[in-house]
Structure 1
Amino acid sequence: MAKRIDVADLNAYYGPTRAIEGISMTIEPRTVTAFIGPSGCGKSTFLRTLNRMHEVIPGARVEGKVTLDDVDLYGAGVDPVAVRRSIGMVFQRPNPFPTMSIYENVAAGLRLAGVKKKSELDDVVESSLKGANLWKEVENRLKKPGSGLSGGQQQRLCIARAIAVSPDVLLMDEPCSALDPISTTAIEDLISQLKSEYTIVIVTHNMQQAARVSDRTAFFNISGTGTPGRLIEIDDTSRIFANPTEKATEDYITGRFG
């Protein structure tokens, strides 16, 4: 687990419209990398290109190269479903499968992968819920619907579901934006714990959150309305917030725009 991602000159399109342009970066294993920047600058679009979720949108396409430990994720013959299993995603709003129990939410990916043995499913469900710091809260109601949990618990259930299939990378698209402060703290603490096993990338609009949880921060921006998003700079989080190289980065993190 925990693999390195290298991106080279990546461009993403929605039909004829280029949404992001010329992005290159390296995301190191066992780190948390935060993507920050104003709305509409392509952070979430770029995040979805890392596990080939972008191409699910009709008319969307990607140019450039994304490698996971030297495996070209967009190479000929690469199965996008396998890519998404290896690079899991947690979305902005908790999305447990509404008709499934807590147990079945976590086991769903394992069943799709062909795991049928109950003892194996039991072990992975328990370890995944423990990994998401949720086991003690739900161990006596595993057969209850996942949708019956609180918002913060649902988001941790979605994280448990993502890690159950043993991914190499976890992508999180504003995972705390719909949560209360207590649940947000729980998710942030969990992210800090999970980075010992996974490569984690998080999109956030919360500057304080980026400063708290990430090792490296990437700032994205656009030059004007209708122009594609670009990576302005990426560096250690402490440097981005204390001494950024680009004035646009300083202006954004100090609240002068965005």
Structure 2
Amino acid sequence: MAKRIDVNNLNVYYGNFLAVEDISLAIEPRSVTAFIGPSGCGKSTFLRTLNRMHEVIPGARVEGEVLMDGINLYDSGVDPVAVRRHVGMVFQRPNPFPTMSIAENVLAGVKLNNKRMSRGDADDLVEGSLRGANLWDEVKDRLDKPGSSLSGGQQQRLCIARAIAIKPDVLLMDEPCSALDPISTLAIEDLIQELKNDYTIVIVTHNMQQAARVSDRTAFFNIAGTGKPGKLIEMNDTPVMFSTPSEKATEDYISGRFG
């Protein structure tokens, strides 16, 4: 578990439109990396290139490399479905499958990958994944109830349990707390701190305090104007980024002068 990611000269296109330009950065294993920046600057687009999720949009393509422990995820022989088994994703809004029970939601990704297992192994995986998402004690007596019956914060932790059930190496989170109340947000942030012991985590957030609280390193993205590509402005250890950033644009954004 927990892989290093190296991105080299990555450009992301939708048709002829250059959405993200010339990104090079390193993401350390067993750490939390936060992507910050104003809306529309390519943070989420770039995040989705790390498990090839952007490819579900027609015309999407990349130039450059995304290396996971030295293996280019965009080599011609690499199956994008296999990439997503190693690089899980949690989306902005909790999205449990409404017709599935809590237990079935946890196992959904495993079954999608055609993995057969005994009832005992399935039960163990459900419990282990829910414990990993700090949700087991809250739902262990109602595993047959719909996932959609849970609160918003519980649903998001259920989605995290579903993501870690497939035993990924990397976990991507696209604004995982934006739809949650402060108490649920705190629970997710505490969970992220625990999960980084086993996973490489990358999180997109618009919440500067959240980035400062949960991340080890922070990358600031910006855009020169409408129709221009998003760019990585700078990246550094989070305490340095929030105290002495190198670029004035970073300081302006973190201090709330724009964005």
Please indicate the TM-score interval, normalised by the length of the shorter structure: over 0.9
Equivalent in the alignment of 1:162: 163
* Counterpart check, 1:99 vs 2:99: yes
Structure 1 unaligned residues grouped into runs of 5+: none
Distance 2:60 2:21 in 1: 14
Q: Which residue of 1 aligns with 2:151?
A: 150
Q: Is 2:38 the counterpart of 1:34?
A: no
Secondary structure at 1:158 match in 2: helix
Query: 1 CA distance for matches of 2:68 and 2:19?
Result: 23
Deviation at 1:187, TM superposition (A): 0.2
Tell me, in whole angstroms, the C-alpha distance in 1 between the residues paired with 2:112 and 2:14: 30
Counterpart amino acid of residue 252 in structure 2? D
Letter of the aligned partner of 1:223 in structure 2?
A
CA distance in 1, matches of 2:194, 2:130: 14
In the alignment, structure 1 residue 137 sits paired with structure 2 residue 138: yes
Partners of 1:248 and 1:115 in 2: CA distance: 51
Q: Deviations over 1:189-243 (max 9, x none)?
A: 0000000000000000000000000000000001122110000000000000000
Matches within 5 A, 1:177-192: 177-192=178-193
Give the corresponding residue for 1:60.
60
Equivalenced residue count is 258
User: CA–CA distance in 2 between the matches of 1:109 and 1:52?
Assistant: 17
Q: CA deviation at 1:162?
A: 0.2
Alignment partner of 1:207 is 2:208: yes
Report SS of the residue matched to 2:10: strand
Structure 2 residue 96 is the aligned partner of structure 1 residue 89: no
Cα offset for 1:112? 2.6
Alignment partners' CA distance in 2, 1:78 and 1:22 = 22
Q: What are the Cα deviations for residues 52-103 of structure 1, in whole angstroms up to 9, with x where unaligned? A: 0011101111111001101110001101001011000000000001110000
Offset from partner CA, 1:120-144 (integer Å, 9 cap, x none): 1111110000000000000000000
Deviates more, 1:103-112 or 1:230-239: 103-112
Report the AA paired with residue 194 of structure 1. L
The SS at the match of 2:193 is helix
Read off the aligned partner of 1:15 and give its amino acid letter: G
CA contact (8 A) 1:55 1:62 kept: no
- Secondary structure class of the residue paired with 1:45: helix
Residue equivalent to 2:240: 239
The yes-or-no answer on 1:194 pairing with 2:192 is: no
User: How far apart are 1:115 and its partner, in Å?
Assistant: 2.3
- Could you tell me how far apart the structure 1 residues matched to 2:148 and 2:63 are? 38
Distance (whole Å) between structure 1 residues aligned to residue 44 and residue 160 of structure 2: 18
Q: Report SS of the residue matched to 1:153.
A: helix
TM-score for the superposition, normalised by structure 1: 0.99
- 2:45 aligned partner: 45
Letter in 2 for 1:45: T
Amino acid at match of 1:242: S
Q: Which residue is equivalent to 2:172?
A: 171
Would the aligned equivalents of 1:115 and 1:121 in 2 still touch at CA under 8 Å? no
Match of 1:256 in 2: 257
Cα separation, 2, equivalents of 1:152 and 1:172: 14
Taking structure 2 as the reference length, what is the TM-score of the superposition? 0.99
Q: Is 1:74 matched with 2:69?
A: no
Aligned to 1:14: 14
Residues of 1 paired with 2:119 and 2:24: CA distance?
Answer: 44
Gaps of 5+ in 2: none
Give the secondary-structure state (helix, strand or coil) at the position aligned to 1:154.
helix
Looking at structure 1, the residues matched to 112 and 18 of structure 2 have their Cα atoms a distance apart, in angstroms, of 34
